[in-house]
Structure 1
Amino acid sequence: MTGTRTGRRRLVRAGLGVAAAALAGCAAHPGPARRLRLATGPRGGPYNAFGRALARAAAASGQHLEVLPVDTAASVDNLRRLDEGSVDLALAMADVAQDAVLGREPFPRPAGVTALARVYVNYTHLLVPGDGPVHSVGDLAGRPVAAGAAGSGVQVVAGRILRAAGLSGATPAATPAYARQLGLAESVAALRAGTVAALFWSGGVPTPALTALARELPLRFLPLDGYAGPLRERHGPVYTAVTLPAGAYGLAGPVGTLGVGNYLLARDAVAADAVSALLRVVFDRRRDLLREVTAGVRLEPRFAISTGEVPLHPGAAAYYRSVYG
């Protein structure tokens, strides 16, 4: 971990040559606003809310930036769009971003994407009816499970948890859980109707749709922190043990679960001065950007540079170098 931090600091220092030009340019950029297309997520989801808040903040910032949010299926979809060049910026979960950079499934080759910031942490939720028979992940064997929309980061982390639990169908002797590709709204409706036994979600705390569901029917949140070790061994340190706090969703006590960072990403070709200007907006307006996404988050440069295998964009290195002094 110390080596990773040291390498990251060196990368920030390596951006010093870019810093002077980039930061001088973003202070007073002539001409029309620079347009940046941002791949977010489905309407009603946290990525979409963050993207629209960022667009409003950029428009009011005086930085000559225009951020154009694009509705998508979320992380996997966003990284594919970023790599092909149909968008300039994207939001994605850290595990999926790492897979894209390393060219691991579902990406056929390494993607040319860079990180701007680690913006907040997703909490993995696995909830079941409180009066039902499911008390652990193992109890999902043979049952239908809402496991995230196709192309989403939820689908990735849900699949990895089920695989670690022996419920993915990879082991012929085990009875798998039956993963259904459903977005958050569809997952909530399915759990309410009883057509799925459980619902996976990865997002901020509290997630409004789940807060509303918890007011309608008793829910049980299953602990997932025991999977942090196995997933880290197989996929790297993008997974951490975190805690759903008591009081969230009416929980009587804390529940251990998996945390996964969220990255703001950019194509390599995005101008360094535009990236530096965008990050200035992000950190100046960080409280507004995260208000509707997750509670209790502190977005600070010293944490934002922790983007693992995903390299920092030169404009991001320039911005952080200016902050560190």
Structure 2
Amino acid sequence: MRRIAAAFAMLLPMIAFAQNYSIGTGGQSGIYYPFGGALAKVWSDEVSSINVKAEVTAASVENTIKVVRGDMLAGIAMGNVVMDAYQGEGKFPAKMPVKVLFALYPNLVHPMTLQNSDIQKLEDLKGKRVSLGAPGSGTAVTSAALLKTLGINPEKDINAVYLNYSETTNALANGQIDAGFIVGGQGVGAVTQIALTHKLRVIPISQEERQSFIAEYPAYSEYTIPEGIYNNVPATDTLSIWNVLVVHADMTDDMAYELTRVAYENMGEVRKVVKVAEATIPANAKQLAGVPLHPGAEKYLNSIQ
């Protein structure tokens, strides 16, 4: 009995020392949530000083704001949102103290409608009921920016609603909207599910439209979704933007180093949960140009070269 009491007494300081944190993700029907949950488990298991949980959020903008406020240890966010925060543009009225730990995987722009719709191209969205994504999400930022570069005013030229992934696909399936945007990883669950139950069309983004958008938003790249990724959806030209892990610029170098080291050394566990983590490798860490890596993350990456 004394041995048990002594062992428990030794354990108490360790328990007290571990601090509780969260990682900002997104809705439960997207990839951010399982990816964040897998990272949270790895960090909690392998870094003795922290306990981390995945927090459901409205995604990129909310995550970045909460990281800046100190409400989150880290957040998953689309690169364009983090770049806006770093530069004090878009949704951010001033430059935010943010850094990147490392890039995760590319998000793809999925403009969607049903095959029986008369919407064949993006300009056909004029006058239609369109979901632009959840408020405060990277999807909403991207979809609005894309429409504006095409001369479509989201506030005047379409009937815009702001729904998350599952709300968008449910509304599309039920005829409550004519089209919707989801910006997520290749094979994102919400798109996969509706393609299995309905005849889905992912609206192609033409070369001219892609080039025009990239000229204004160089963080994006051209991408072709391969045939067969979604049921009965042919190869489709679109845009991509890398997701990153955003942290506060004041995070200690030691913490950033440990989070980066543990994440990469245990990425195999994350890949068991989310296939897109195959892209989360050190060679891709700096895919987001324009926002510096945290010095602690940089130190780890330099140590393995």
TM-score by length of 2: 0.89
Give the one of 214, 219, 239 matched to 1:232.
214
* Mapped partners of 1:129, 1:317: distance in 2: 45
Determine if contact 1:146/1:180 at 8 Å carries over to the other structure: yes
**Cα distance, 1:42 vs structure 2:** 2.4
Matched position secondary structure for 2:279 = coil
Letter in 2 for 1:91: I
Which residue matches 1:281? 262
Which residue matches 2:234? 253
* Mapped partners of 2:256, 2:206: distance in 1: 35
* Mapped partners of 1:62, 1:157: distance in 2: 35
Question: Could you say if the C-alpha distance between residues 291 and 204 of structure 1 is closer, same or farther in structure 2, counting changes exceeding 3 Å?
Answer: farther
* Mapped partners of 1:291, 1:131: distance in 2: 37
Letter in 1 for 2:113: V
Determine if contact 1:239/1:258 at 8 Å carries over to the other structure: yes
Which residue matches 1:101? 86
Which residue matches 1:210? 191
Q: Deviations over 1:32-75 (max 9, x none)?
A: 33544322222332111111111111233255442232221110
Matched position secondary structure for 1:258 = strand
Determine if contact 1:272/1:315 at 8 Å carries over to the other structure: yes
Percent identical across equivalent pairs?
29
Q: Structure 2 stretches of 5 or more lacking a match? A: 1-13
Which residue matches 2:9? none
**Cα distance, 1:298 vs structure 2:** 2.7
Give the one of 83, 87, 96 matched to 2:72.
87
Q: RMSD value over aligned CA atoms?
A: 2.1
* Mapped partners of 2:206, 2:85: distance in 1: 25
Which residue matches 2:31? 46
The number of residue pairs the alignment matches comes to 291
Question: Could you say if the C-alpha distance between residues 313 and 31 of structure 1 is closer, same or farther in structure 2, counting changes exceeding 3 Å?
Answer: farther
Give the one of 242, 247, 272 matched to 2:223.
242
Using the TM superposition, name which of 153-162 and 82-91 deviates more: 82-91
Determine if contact 2:210/2:222 at 8 Å carries over to the other structure: yes
Determine if contact 1:204/1:293 at 8 Å carries over to the other structure: no
Determine if contact 1:129/1:219 at 8 Å carries over to the other structure: yes
Give the one of 316, 319, 323 matched to 2:297.
316
Which gives a bigger RCO, structure 1 or 2 (Cα 8 Å, sep 6+)? 1
Give the one of 224, 244, 256 matched to 1:263.
244
Determine if contact 2:111/2:203 at 8 Å carries over to the other structure: yes
Q: Does 1:161 pair with 2:140?
A: no
Determine if contact 1:82/1:88 at 8 Å carries over to the other structure: yes
Letter in 2 for 1:262: N
Question: Could you say if the C-alpha distance between residues 292 and 244 of structure 1 is closer, same or farther in structure 2, counting changes exceeding 3 Å?
Answer: farther
* Mapped partners of 1:308, 1:55: distance in 2: 26
Which residue matches 2:11? none
Which residue matches 2:53? 68
* Mapped partners of 1:262, 1:296: distance in 2: 11
Matched position secondary structure for 2:243 = strand
* Mapped partners of 1:203, 1:294: distance in 2: 13
Matched position secondary structure for 1:249 = coil
Question: Could you say if the C-alpha distance between residues 181 and 62 of structure 1 is closer, same or farther in structure 2, counting changes exceeding 3 Å?
Answer: closer
Determine if contact 2:74/2:246 at 8 Å carries over to the other structure: yes
Determine if contact 2:147/2:154 at 8 Å carries over to the other structure: no
Give the one of 161, 164, 168 matched to 1:183.
164
Q: Deviations over 1:165-222 (max 9, x none)?
A: 222158xxxx712221001111111101111111100111211222121111111111
* Mapped partners of 2:138, 2:271: distance in 1: 19
Give the one of 183, 196, 202 matched to 2:177.
196
